[in-house]
Structure 1
Amino acid sequence: MSSAETITVPHLGTSTIGYRFGGPYDASLPTVVMVNSFTTSVDLYRPQFADEALAATVNLLALEPYGHGRTRATYEQFTYWDSAVADLQVLDALGIREAFVLGTSQGGWVAARMAMLAPGTVTGIIPLGTSMDSESQRSRDLGCWDGIDFCTPAIDTLAESVGEDWVIPPELVDAVLAEGFGDDVPPEERSFWHAAYQENYTGDAGRARLRTSTVNLRDRDGLHARLDGVRCPVLWMHGTADPVYSVANAEDEITRFVNSEHAELRVVEGGRHFLSASHPGEVNAATVEFVNRWT
């Protein structure tokens, strides 16, 4: 059921990266790369692909990080820096010289990493419902979740090898959906993601990818001391109903982009953690505005 294709890049001993274009590539239009949230896939951006105004303004290109969707690597270990490097290599392979990068949750810190690594390539970033910190006491003091408490039981549960008939437990899927969409996930959306997760995370290889992705979320490095390396414009959008990372945290961290050409926080009333899915109208309209301003 996955809508992703794959493209080969040299990173991590050669990798295949899951990707999806919104339509035929048009070199006359700017490109928006979209990086999905924890354990989801390019299908998180179905509302963006379906938006005619957005599709008429930009090339939409969704890329799946390591551990997600159809992305695979020769090496078993990976970090968010690896996903940032691989995504830049995808752009090079596709002949796309410049792009904006939109990222939901973990996609936001991949976007920031891409901007630091390739300031000549990344034209602007649009982080959604994210944090630039590690899972620190500072972030919890500002009202963010306890990511260590959320991730550690799953990391422990996924530590042992399993048979090829293994599929991701439904309670793990529901835990992610609750954080991303809230408790009132529409039945058709819940069914869609249960099927998608069961396709993406099967057998021992699926278990290992899921575990490493969860380790990365829990144990990632914070970016505060590196944010002065982001020079492009930043539009950070954050929902007031985000239970994972708080508006207060976003208000503090947007001020840390001290060398950005322009850094703005836009708060979305009622917005959930997976803001691109919960409030696509606001996100899509703001993306068009941002791209038109900075192209």
Structure 2
Amino acid sequence: METITVPHLGTSAIGYRLGGAYDASLPTLVMVNSFSTSAELYRPQFADGELRATVNLLALEPYGHGRTRASYEQFTYWDSAIADLQVLDALGIPEAFVLGTSQGGWVAARMAVLAPRTVKGIIVLGTSMDYESQRSRDLGCWDGIGFNTPAIDALAEDVGDDWVVPVELVDAVLEEGFGEDVPPEERTFWHATYQENYAGDAGRQRLRLSAINLRDRDGLHGRLDSVRCPVLWMHGTADPVYSVADAEDEITMFVDSADAELRVVDGGRHFLSASNPGEVDTATVEFVHRWE
């Protein structure tokens, strides 16, 4: 993992990982991780030889996540989208596809709204384009307000330098992402990663703001007609956070996209890039070849 400086939010250091030396002859795939994880969510993609031979893999960590830091303490998903576009400029990458898991999906959509000439296509996984609305709950999505509010309240007080994120909170996120049977090696890996990323009072603040963003974000329904690029939406049938029914409704809102396809993955979990990397990676290669 490295960081790169961009001017947004009073200057920011954005955590990123490249899959190898940048090859200007290949298209680039930006990957944006899910809530409270890091670029390490995309370990399966970095290990996929066919995917690495097809695109430059570039994982970017949103504000509040991994190694990303800003001069200003407050941030939203729009800020992450702007900063990610500035990273592309800083790296000299003129255009890219963007893949996002869960919250990464709405960062990808925001990037496409903001920079239609830069974003060639988006691949969104286990996501939603809504705010945490009654509409989404009526369609079988989770109660994001009920999930996040206790954590936001519990993280409200200052803590000492020896504080690390409680494993109970990590386990709650992992069960939403991987299901109840989280592989032991994944649980061990993420316990250690979370406690490295979210330590001390600064870590507490970043995690709390990330949870506030997840709970209180704005919806994108009124802006989706500004997405011009092709869209591939992949959604698992075993996703407990956002439902297939919601995805079926929202894919129809990309009315001015070059193409908008929903692909349902049988048994796929919320962290679809991790639970079903073979299907996601194969579909991504096909998508890039079609639209590059």
* TM-score bin, normalised by smaller chain: over 0.9
Separation in 1, partners of 2:250, 2:20: 34
The answer for the alignment partner of 1:156 in structure 2 is: 153
SS at 2:9 equivalent: helix
Taking the aligned partners of 1:18 and 1:200, their CA distance within structure 2 comes to: 12
Residue equivalent to 1:101: 98
| Partner residue, 2:57 | 60
Q: Hey, what does 2:77 align to over in structure 1?
A: 80
What is aligned with 1:38? 35
Task: List aligned pairs for 1:180-195, cutoff 5 A.
Answer: 180-195=177-192
Code of the residue aligned with 1:282 in structure 2: it is E
Superposed displacement of residue 119, structure 1: 0.2
Counterpart of 2:240? Answer: 243
Q: Which residue of 2 aligns with 1:258?
A: 255
Distance 2:275 2:19 in 1: 19
Partner of 1:179: 176
Give the Cα–Cα distance (whole angstroms) in 1 for the partners of residues 226 and 234 of structure 2: 20
Aligned CA-pair RMSD: 0.3
Equivalent position of 1:69 in the other structure? 66
Report the Cα distance in structure 1 between the residues aligned to 2:2 and 2:171, rounded to whole angstroms.
Answer: 26
> 1:26 aligns to what?
23
1:183 Cα deviation from its structure 2 partner: 0.8
Counterparts of 1:258 and 1:185 in 2: how far apart (Å)?
Answer: 37
How far does residue 133 in structure 1 lie from its aligned partner after superposition? 0.1
Structure 2: gaps (5+ residues): none
**How many percent of aligned residue pairs carry the same amino acid?**
84
Match of 1:202 in 2: 199
The alignment status of 1:125 with 2:122, answered yes or no, reads: yes
Counterpart-to-counterpart distance in 2, 1:187 and 1:266: 29
Deviations 1:139-159 (A, max 9, x none): 000000000000000000000
Corresponding letter in the other structure for 2:281: N
Query: Structure 2 counterpart of 1:126, which letter?
Result: I
Distance 1:125 1:53 in 2: 19
Q: Deviations over 1:7-41 (max 9, x none)?
A: 00000000000000011110000000000000000
How far is 1:287 from its partner? 0.2
Which ranges of 4 or more aligned residues in structure 1 deviate by more than 2 Å?
none
Q: Which runs of 5+ in 1 are unaligned?
A: none
Give the AA of the match of 2:81: A
TM-score normalized by the length of structure 1:
0.99
Q: CA deviation at 1:279?
A: 0.0
Secondary structure in structure 1 of the residue aligned to 2:30: strand
Aligned pair 1:233/2:230, yes or no?
yes
Q: Provide the rounded CA distance (Å) in 2 between the counterparts of 1:278 and 1:195.
A: 20
